[in-house]
Amino acid sequence: MHKTAGEAVQLVRELRQKLDRAAAQVAVAPPFTALAAVKQALQGSAIQLFGQNCHHEKQGAFTGEVSAPMLKDAGCDGVILGHSERRQLFGETDEGVARKLKAALGEGLHPIVCVGETLQEREAGRTWDVVSRQVRAAVAGLDTGAVQKITIAYEPVWAIGTGRNATAAQAQEVHGQIRGLLREIGGAAAADAVRIQYGGSVKPDNAAELLGQADVDGALVGGASLKAEDFAKIVEAAR
């Protein structure tokens, strides 16, 4: 919940100056109220537009919600689903995230599905139990072709907005396990096609090491994305 429409447009203009020739694929996910303005500001740019969330129904009496068709109509290329803040603060469930995922795929949106454990779960040795449950629930019932169209973001809850980030080795361990689970669920094609991002206090000074891991395919950037210079440095580290 950052940036008015005008502030978001200013940030995007700064990003365009720094990122339009970036080697990595880049997307921004402003608040719903800024989507239309940011879409206009991105015209002619390779930077994609994502929503931060969506409802699983196409329409209905769901005051305050935004549907996948509405995001598509606003010009979105994709949507973030199951972010830890949505799970922790707003009670979103694995089943609910799965329903939203199907809705997003049905509209041709690229879903980024977030998974990750709390500090209590990590200290209890339950990291993989939690992450594997969340991944399995998200892709349940999807065929291999559909699985290949999603991105998974591993974001340990204890590392989000805390200044603490998982070490490169910790991130790689979980990413490698997720890759193995995708191979088990959807075969080698799915395991190779799905991008697995890391999210959790990604900053310019740790991005290169994190992104250099074998199974870390990208980053879901939070606070550092609010400053064009910091975000551009993270994108540069993805080369």
Catalytic residue among 55, 107, 155, 175: 155
Please say whether the beta carbons of 213 and 175 come within 8 A.
yes
Query: Cα angle vertex 182, ends 28, 151, to 5°?
Result: 5
Output the pTM of the full model.
0.96
Query: How do strand 151-154 and strand 195-198 relate by DSSP bridges?
Result: parallel
- Decide if 85 is catalytic: no
Q: What is the pLDDT along the chain (239 residues), one digit of tens a residue?
A: 999 999 999 999 999 999 977 789 999 999 999 999 999 999 999 999 999 999 999 999 999 999 999 999 999 999 999 999 999 999 999 999 999 999 999 999 999 999 999 999 999 999 999 999 999 999 999 999 999 999 999 999 988 777 777 899 999 999 999 999 999 999 999 999 999 999 988 999 999 999 999 999 999 999 999 999 999 999 999 87
Catalytic residue among 83, 92, 107, 110: 83
Using CA atoms, how far apart are residues 158 and 27, in angstroms rounded to an integer? 24
- Decide if 110 is catalytic: no
Buried b (16+ CB within 10 A) or exposed e, 179-217: bebbeebbeeebbebbebbbbbbbbbebbeebbebebbb
